[in-house]
Amino acid sequence: MDHIDTKISKFLSYVLRHQPESIGLTLDSEGWADISTLIKCAVKQGKRLNYPMIEKIVATNDKKRFAISEDRKRIRAVQGHSAKRVNICYQEKIPPAVLYHGTATRFLDSIFKQGLVAGNRHYVHLSADEMTAIKVGQRHGKVAILKIDVQLMYEQGIKFHQAENGVWLTKAVPVEYISMK
């Protein structure tokens, strides 16, 4: 992804996950926004954006952060929302026995006191493989990989969902299910 694509991807993440109102955009409860409205709102804010650019970002984003509707008229971020209006109804799924969470070492004390919490997002994000967790953790500083005993959590009634891009989601991960990798 080149510099311009990265800027567009970050802009889309910001407005489709966190602050749609910052450009006058409205998302529905499933996180969908009308693409033509998104483009108009972005242009009013001085952002250069068009349909081919959006299609390219959706198709080439390495984390598959975005989805375009079947009718090709709407777009959404597939997970990671903090926007209060958005409450995507993910289908509950049976998770693998172990998942991973990448974080920065500076957060470990807090995590081992209170567990993993969603914070201002709707869900805690977990990865099926260590490499993805490492990439996520590196964004926040010196990386630490946490191993999550998902099988035990699931057996004790904790629900899991999987976003369209493969990210596993749960409301929280209590400390007793977390260990260092």
Flag whether 144 is in a domain: yes
Given this model, what pLDDT does residue 159 score? Answer: 96
CB within 8 A of 54, min separation 6: which ones?
8, 12, 35, 38, 39, 68, 75
pLDDT of 95 strictly over 80? yes
Beta-sheet strand order (sheet of 168-170): 124-126, 168-170, 161-162
The runs of H, that is alpha helices, within the chain are 3-13, 35-44, 51-60, 108-114, 130-138, 150-155
pLDDT for 19 equals 94
- Over 70: is that where the pLDDT of 76 sits? yes
Q: Beta strand 178-180 with 143-149: parallel, antiparallel or unpaired? A: antiparallel
Domain count, the chain: 2
In a domain, 92, yes or no: no
Q: Which residues contact 73 (CB under 8 A, 6 or more apart)?
A: 34, 35, 36
Q: Does the predicted TM-score (pTM) go above 0.85?
A: no
- The confidence band for 1, taking pLDDT boundaries of 50, 70 and 90, is low
Q: Is the pLDDT of residue 9 over 70?
A: yes
Assess if residue 137 is contained within a domain.
yes
| pLDDT per residue as tens digits for the range 122-139 | 899 999 999 999 999 998
User: Does residue 112 sit in the same domain as residue 173?
Assistant: yes
Q: Residue 164 maps to which CATH number?
A: 3.20.170.30
Q: What is the pLDDT of residue 3?
A: 79
3-state secondary structure 107-121: HHHHHHHHCEECCCC
Which domain covers residue 8, as residue numbers? 3-77
Q: Does residue 89 register a pLDDT over 90? A: no
